[in-house]
């Protein structure tokens, strides 16, 4: 038993050594080893969350922890399965503030949103093409009926042959969403799966494990972010604050309970300032906000 554990540990060490990192702004801080280490230690890190005074946020913390654990478990299993082929892995992380283009070894193109990363082998195996996503990305998959393309996003496995779709699998959100533009994809986990058709959106609740499928009137609207445009479509204020916290490295404190259930619709360029976005939101909903260093007080 000890020998088997030693062999497994050696395989993991060899796999980690083979991982390489590609970033828009490479530096010693973003070495492959440090990048992988940061990812694996996120289970011990409490991500920035929204403080809502006079309201409990226990459920939010529960799904956030569950999402992080599920993310690490899914990735660990994927890497373990792939280690038999002994590939070199490429970790592409986008923290540039704008959408980054990534081309995979098979010709598949990816538009990687800000604060997202994709992990893929330097060369695909003889049987399939698998990548791992954390965050948001749009895929234009090169058709190859003999080698299915698989995206692993948290607990979900998205299997395709050749198609166009977008996935948002941020660990800071309580759900994973996939929107299909062309072709068909099979989305599932160990318990269930659904076959998606164009102009459909799948939502997977990380906390409850519930998977649902809805029709989308305009699927192209869901990929406006690839043009560096952020689209709000009846988007809850809490979701907006989470996105702004991540983008501007701030923390929102909502003092007005009446704003909790508010939703917003509109479009913003991703390079707009925080003040510009909040002032535009004030047009449709009356609220005040105050800057206190890294804290944004909404009242």
Distance CA 48, CA 46 (A): 7
Q: What is the pLDDT of residues 144-181, one digit of tens each?
A: 988 999 999 999 999 997 799 999 998 877 889 999 99
Where does a domain end: 223, 258, 276? 223
Residue 7: its pLDDT value, please?
53
What is the DSSP code string of 230-297?
Answer: EEEEEEEHHHHHHHHHHHHT-EEEE--GGGTT-EEEEEEETTS-HHHHHHHHHHHS---EEEETTEEE
CA distances to 180, 181, 198, 212 from 217, in Å? 12, 11, 11, 16
pLDDT at 171: 80
Alpha carbon 298 to its chain centroid, in Å, reads: 27
Q: What is the DSSP letter of 189?
A: -
Nearest to 91 by CA among 132, 149, 43, 45: 132
User: Do 103 and 239 have their domain in common?
Assistant: no
Supply the pLDDT for residue 9.
Answer: 47
Cα-based angle 239, 244, 247 (whole degrees, multiple of 5): 130
- Say whether both 55 and 169 belong to one domain: yes
Domain that holds residue 237: 228-298
Q: How confident is the model at residue 42 (pLDDT cuts 50, 70, 90)?
A: very low
45 against 205, higher pLDDT: 205
Percent of the chain beyond pLDDT 90? 43
Domain boundary among 198, 223, 248: 223
- Are 229 and 269 within 8 A, CB to CB? yes
Instruction: Answer yes or no: do 77 and 15 share one domain.
Output: yes
Choosing from 208, 223, 238, the residue where a domain stops is: 223
Q: Which residues contact 214 (CB under 8 A, 6 or more apart)?
A: 200, 201, 203
Q: Give SS3 for 82.
A: helix
Q: Is the pLDDT assigned to residue 34 strictly greater than 70?
A: no
Encode pLDDT of 89-125 as tens digits: 999 999 988 899 999 999 999 999 988 999 999 999 8
Asked whether residue 52 falls in the same domain as residue 7, the answer is yes
Determine the 3-state secondary structure of 194 from DSSP: strand
Q: Do 30 and 66 share a domain, yes or no? A: yes
Asked if 185 and 244 sit in the same domain, the reply is no
Q: Which span out of 5-14, 55-64, 104-113 was modeled with the highest average pLDDT?
A: 104-113
Q: Exposure of 265 by Cβ count < 10 A (0-12 exposed, 13-18 middle, 19+ buried)?
A: exposed
In this structure, the answer to whether residues 182 and 51 fall within a common structural domain is yes
Label residue 51 by pLDDT band (50, 70, 90).
very low
CATH code for position 286: 3.55.50.30
Q: How many domains does the chain have?
A: 2
- Report strand pairing: 149-153 vs 129-140: parallel
Whether 141 and 238 share a structural domain: no
- Do 255 and 191 share a structural domain? no
Q: In this structure, are 235 and 194 located in the same domain?
A: no
According to the model, what pLDDT value does residue 110 have? 97
Same domain, 114 and 206: yes
Cα–Cα distance for residue pair 59/80, rounded to 1 Å: 31
- 164: number of Cβ within 10 Å: 19
CATH of the domain at 16: 2.60.120.1440
pLDDT at 15 over 60: no
Instruction: Give me the mean pLDDT over the 203-217 stretch.
Output: 92
Does residue 274 share a domain with residue 159?
no
Q: How many alpha carbons fall within 13 Å on the CB side of residue 217?
A: 1
Length of the chain: 299
The whole-angstrom separation of Cα 135 and Cα 173 is 9
Cα dihedral 61, 62, 65, 67, rounded to 10, equals -110
Give the C-alpha separation, 32 to 26, whole Å: 10
């Amino acid at each position: 038993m000890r020998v088997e554990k030693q062999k497994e540990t050696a395989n993991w060490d060899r796999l980690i050594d083979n991982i390489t990192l590609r970033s828009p702004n490479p530096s010693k801080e973003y070495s492959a080893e440090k990048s992988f280490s940061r990812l694996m230690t996120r289970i011990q890190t409490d991500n920035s969350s929204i403080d809502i005074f006079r309201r409990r946020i226990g459920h939010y913390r529960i799904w956030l922890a569950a999402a992080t654990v599920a993310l690490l478990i899914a990735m660990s299993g994927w890497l373990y399965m792939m280690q038999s082929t002994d590939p070199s892995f490429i970790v592409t992380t986008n923290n540039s503030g704008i959408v980054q283009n990534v081309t995979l070894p098979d010709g598949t193109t990816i538009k990687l949103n800000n604060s997202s990363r994709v992990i893929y082998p330097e060369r695909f195996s003889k049987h399939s093409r698998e990548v791992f996503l954390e965050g948001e990305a749009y895929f234009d998959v090169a058709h190859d009926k003999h080698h299915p393309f698989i995206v692993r996003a948290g607990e979900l496995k998205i299997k395709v042959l050749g198609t166009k779709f977008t996935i948002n699998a941020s660990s800071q959100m309580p759900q994973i969403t996939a929107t299909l533009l062309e072709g068909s994809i099979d989305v599932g986990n160990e318990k269930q799966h659904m076959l998606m058709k164009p102009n459909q959106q799948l939502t997977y609740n990380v906390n409850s494990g519930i998977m649902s499928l809805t029709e989308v009137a305009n699927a192209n609207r869901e990929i406006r972010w690839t043009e560096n445009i952020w689209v709000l479509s009846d988007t809850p204020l809490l979701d907006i604050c989470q996105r702004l916290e991540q983008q501007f490295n701030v923390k929102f404190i909502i003092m007005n309970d009446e704003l909790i259930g508010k939703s917003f619709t509109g479009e913003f360029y991703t390079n707009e300032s925080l003040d510009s976005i909040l002032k535009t939101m004030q047009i449709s909903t009356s609220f005040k906000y105050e800057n206190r260093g890294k804290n944004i007080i909404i009242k």
